[in-house]
């Protein structure tokens, strides 16, 4: 069975060829791409994923909630950090979103892949028990998404039990 992956990334179309090429070539993944917060919520509410990879800098999309958060934070993706707001909605209970997050998702399903790398971000992720983090820097291997997916799966009890059982 293929690993179901949601990559939430505003520049996914630009990075599609280099970073998702190895994923599609392997044939081991069923991947969806969400380029904004609205699309991410839609995917998360309609399908269960084995791995969700979040960027911190996202545009809002068409949902009024995300548009309002974006406007309140100055309409700048770096300042708005809608990826963090999305994680807050999922795990911290600090979001004012109009509906609850999906029950299936746990912090061990999520990894962060972003250009940002500061202590406040790490502390917030730690508070939500999100342990997988990769910073986008020049020179990353084309297989970085596969590496992130494998780190996410390694902390998931569903996969760690299979690994233990096969030894």
**Beta carbons of 114 and 57 less than 8 angstroms apart:** yes
| Res. 64: pLDDT tops 50 | yes
| Res. 143: pLDDT tops 70 | yes
**pLDDT digit string, tens, across residues 88-125:** 999 976 667 778 899 999 999 999 999 999 999 999 99
Calculate the CA dihedral of residues 70, 54, 113, 25 and round it to 10 degrees: -130
Q: In Å, what is the CA distance from 43 to each residue of 4, 8, 35, 48, 75?
A: 12, 10, 11, 8, 24
- 3-165 under CATH 3.30.390.50, yes or no: no
Closest CA to 19 of 146, 150, 153, 151: 146
Position 146 confidence tier, pLDDT thresholds 50, 70, 90: very high
């Amino acid at each position: 069975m293929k690993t179901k992956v949601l990559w939430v990334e505003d520049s996914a179309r630009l990075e599609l060829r280099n970073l998702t090429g190895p994923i599609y070539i392997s044939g081991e993944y069923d991947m969806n791409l969400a380029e904004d917060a609205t699309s991410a919520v839609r995917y998360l509410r309609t399908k269960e994923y084995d791995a969700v990879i979040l960027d911190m800098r996202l545009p809002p999309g068409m949902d009024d909630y995300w548009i309002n958060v974006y406007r309140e934070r100055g309409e700048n993706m770096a300042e708005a950090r809608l990826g963090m707001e999305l994680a807050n909605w999922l795990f911290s209970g600090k979001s004012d979103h109009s509906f609850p997050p999906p029950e299936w998702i746990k912090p061990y399903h999520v990894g962060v892949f972003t250009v940002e790398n500061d202590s406040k971000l790490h502390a917030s992720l730690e508070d939500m028990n999100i342990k997988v983090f990769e910073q986008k820097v020049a020179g990353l291997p084309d297989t970085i998404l596969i590496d992130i997916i494998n780190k996410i799966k390694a902390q998931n009890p569903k996969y760690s039990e299979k690994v233990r059982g096969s030894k």
